Chains A and B, each alone.
Chain A
Amino acid sequence: MTGHRDTRKGHIIPPEAAPLKALTVTMTVMCYLACLAIGALILINRAVDNWTSGLSREVTVQVRLLQDTDIERELANGKALLERTPGVTGVEVLDRSAGAKLLEPWLGTNNLDDLPIPRLIRVTIDEKAPPDFDRLDADLKKSVKGASLDTHRRWEAELTRMASALSALSYAILVLICISTIAMVIFATRTVLDANRHVVDVLHLVGAKDGYIARQIDSRFIKTGLMAGLFGVMLGILTFFLLGLTGTAGGGGFADASRGLLFAPPAIALWSYGALFSVPVIATLICLITSRMALIRMLGSVL
Chain B
Amino acid sequence: MVRLDSVGLRYGDGPEILKDVSFHLRPGSFCFLTGPSGAGKTSLLRLLFLALQPTRGLINIFDRDVTQVSRRELPLLRRRIGVVFQEFRLLDHLTTFDNVALPLRVSGQREDFYRADVMDLLSWVGLADQAHAYPPVLSGGEKQRAAIARAVISKPELLLADEPTGNVDPVLAKRLLHLFMELNRLGTTVFLATHDLKLVSQTKSTVFHLEKGMLKVA
Contact = CB atoms under 8 A, between A and B. Distances in A.
A5 B120 contact: no
Contact of B71 (A6, A201, A210): A210
B98 A209 contact: no
A1 B119 CA distance: 6
A6 B103 contact: no
Interface string A8-32: 0111101001000000000000000
B146 interface: no
Nearest to B72: A209
Given A3-B128, A17-B93, A204 B75 contact: yes
A264 to B, nearest CB: 50
Interface residues of B, number: 37
A266 interface: no
A298 to B, nearest CB: 13
Contacts of B119: 1-3, 5
Contacts of B115: 1
B89 A198 contact: yes
Chain A contact-residue range equals 20 to 34
A5 B72 CA distance: 34
Nearest to A7: B111
Contact of B94 (A2, A3, A7, A12): A12
Contact of A2 (B83, B98, B106, B128): B128
A207 B79 contact: yes
Given A1-B120, A5-B132, A212 B106 contact: yes
Interface string B96-121: 01100011011100010001100110
Nearest to B127: A3
Nearest to B117: A1
Contacts of A209: 72, 75, 106
A205 interface: yes
Interface stretch (B47-55, B164-172, B191-199): B47-55
Nearest to A216: B106
Given A11-B93, A204-B78, A3 B71 contact: no
A124 to B, nearest CB: 71
Interface of A: 1-7, 9-12, 14, 17, 198-199, 201-210, 212, 300, 303
Given A6-B95, A12-B102, 11 more contacts: A2-B123, A9-B98, A9-B111, A10-B98, A203-B106, A205-B49, A206-B103, A207-B78, A209-B72, A209-B75, A303-B51
21 contacts: A2-B122, A2-B128, A3-B122, A3-B128, A3-B131, A6-B132, A9-B98, A10-B94, A10-B95, A11-B93, A198-B89, A203-B102, A205-B78, A206-B106, A206-B150, A207-B75, A207-B106, A208-B106, A209-B75, A303-B50, A303-B74
